[in-house]
Amino acid sequence: MRCPDARAGGRRRILVATRNAGKAGEIRSLLEPLGVDVVTLDELDPDRRLPEPAETGETFAENARDKAAYYARASGLWALADDSGLAVDALGGAPGVRSARYARDDAPAGATKRDVDAANNARLLRELDGVADADRTARFVCRLALSDGRETLLEADGAVDGLIAREPAGENGFGYDPLFYLPPLDRTAAQLAPEEKNRVSHRGRAVREFARRLRRLLDGA
């Protein structure tokens, strides 16, 4: 794993600890205007030599902190990690922290991220079969944590409310976006252009709050 300088040309370098290109793109678009150089895991560790940390936390906050500390220690950079997921009221808050692996066992061996997403969405629809439209309320939740490997430097939260649609719609986004219907916009998250999604998404809200706090931290550095 390459370990670049923590600063390049006077700019702070921050590792965004994800291999999800969609997620990394959302975060990069909101942080780079601050004068931060964003480095992704695929750029830093293209050969995937660094194993992923186990997600053993019971909350989004615990998982975000643990991942940020792990990647900061491994890279020597400040590391920004998130734990995000879908909480469905009719399912008691599930899939929650298990959102990304909700139906992983239903996906074929060697499944791609797209395959796992499809399996997750299919399971969610099965679990909500027979649930009335008005009772299909849900929210996307995002918790961000920034670590230097020794301590958590910053945290931020974001959430957005919606409903679970009865069938997927839209080609944009990833994860549960095709099923997450936003009543004020009369569209699913997957039907939104990236810029519009950033304005309303849980991650967009969390990253904007994080960016405000990061600006103050950098100004005081």
Residue 184 dihedral angles phi and psi, to the nearest 5°: -60, -25
The number of distinct structural domains making up the chain is: 1
- Establish if 88 belongs to a structural domain: yes
How much is the pLDDT for 3? 52
- Establish if 179 belongs to a structural domain: yes
- Establish if 27 belongs to a structural domain: yes
- Taking the C-alpha atoms of residue 212 and residue 182, their distance in angstroms, rounded to an integer, is 26
How much is the pLDDT for 27? 85
- Establish if 112 belongs to a structural domain: yes
User: Could you tell me which of 82, 104, 76 has the C-alpha nearest to residue 26?
Assistant: 82
CATH code, 61: 3.90.950.10
DSSP 52: P
- Establish if 159 belongs to a structural domain: yes
Q: Which domain holds residue 105?
A: 7-219
Divide the 221 residues of the chain into consecutive groups of 10 and give the mean pLDDT of each group.
55 90 82 90 89 89 96 96 96 95 85 90 97 97 97 97 97 93 96 89 92 89 59
- Establish if 2 belongs to a structural domain: no
* Residues catalogued as catalytic: 83
How much is the pLDDT for 221? 59
How much is the pLDDT for 9? 54
DSSP-H helix ranges across the chain: 21-31, 41-44, 60-75, 113-127, 194-200, 202-219
Q: pTM for the whole thing?
A: 0.84
How much is the pLDDT for 164? 98
How much is the pLDDT for 140? 97
- Establish if 195 belongs to a structural domain: yes
How much is the pLDDT for 10? 66
- Establish if 1 belongs to a structural domain: no
DSSP 134: G
